[in-house]
Amino acid sequence: MSKQKILLGLILCFLLSGCGFTLRPVTAIPPQLQHVYFSSDNPYGTFEVFFKKTLRASGVTFSDSQINSCALHLTSSFSYTTTSPATSVQARVYALTYSANIVILNSQNKLVFSAQNITVNRNISLAPNEIFEVSLQTENAKQEMQRELTTKIINILSSKNVAASLEKTP
């Protein structure tokens, strides 16, 4: 039985490699951003803490001061609007928006990469008896939006434009 499983596993590996499947490489953050001073308007906010954990997982370390390191400043906001009438017998549709603004400064506090505004939108529908603020669907949507926003920011930080801007500055 175990030989069959091993053989099946090998066949699957050969099939995947034969069709051109490859694992996506880890996005490389430029060396200048491997050690950064991180600042935020809400440093202990849910999104900011999640973002810092993601940066740490990407190999970034954090400095206590901006001396001899780039500064990464992040501002984020979450908002929502009701897009359907708020009657007590109808489902309500909410439009959720999570946005972040990221700025990179060098150790002399000069702008290296201008502010980038990144936005993620979702619509959710809640039953008449669900409360938006405590709904599990709302929390799941927020977490999903935070993950997507973090991915977008990491992609910007890893872009060729940011790397070129960092190389131009002393």
Q: What is the pLDDT along the chain (170 residues), one digit of tens a residue?
A: 577 778 777 777 766 666 665 555 555 888 888 999 999 999 999 999 999 999 999 899 999 888 888 999 999 999 999 877 766 678 888 999 999 999 999 888 888 888 789 999 999 988 888 888 888 899 999 999 999 999 999 999 999 988 888 888 76
The pLDDT, as a whole number, for residue 11 is: 75
Considering only CA atoms, give the Rg of the chain. Answer: 22
The pLDDT, as a whole number, for residue 88 is: 64
Domain range summary for the chain, segments of one domain joined by +: 30-168
Q: Which CATH number fits domain 30-168: 3.30.160.150, 3.30.365.10, 3.40.50.300, 1.10.10.10?
A: 3.30.160.150
Distances (CA, A) of 116 to 10, 85, 96: 45, 34, 20
Residue 6 and residue 108: Cα distance in Å, rounded? 58
Residue 108 and residue 69: Cα distance in Å, rounded? 9
Token digits for 61? 């370390």
Distances (CA, A) of 42 to 49, 71, 76: 9, 16, 8
Count of CB atoms situated within 10 Å of the CB of 144: 14
This prediction has a pTM of 0.78
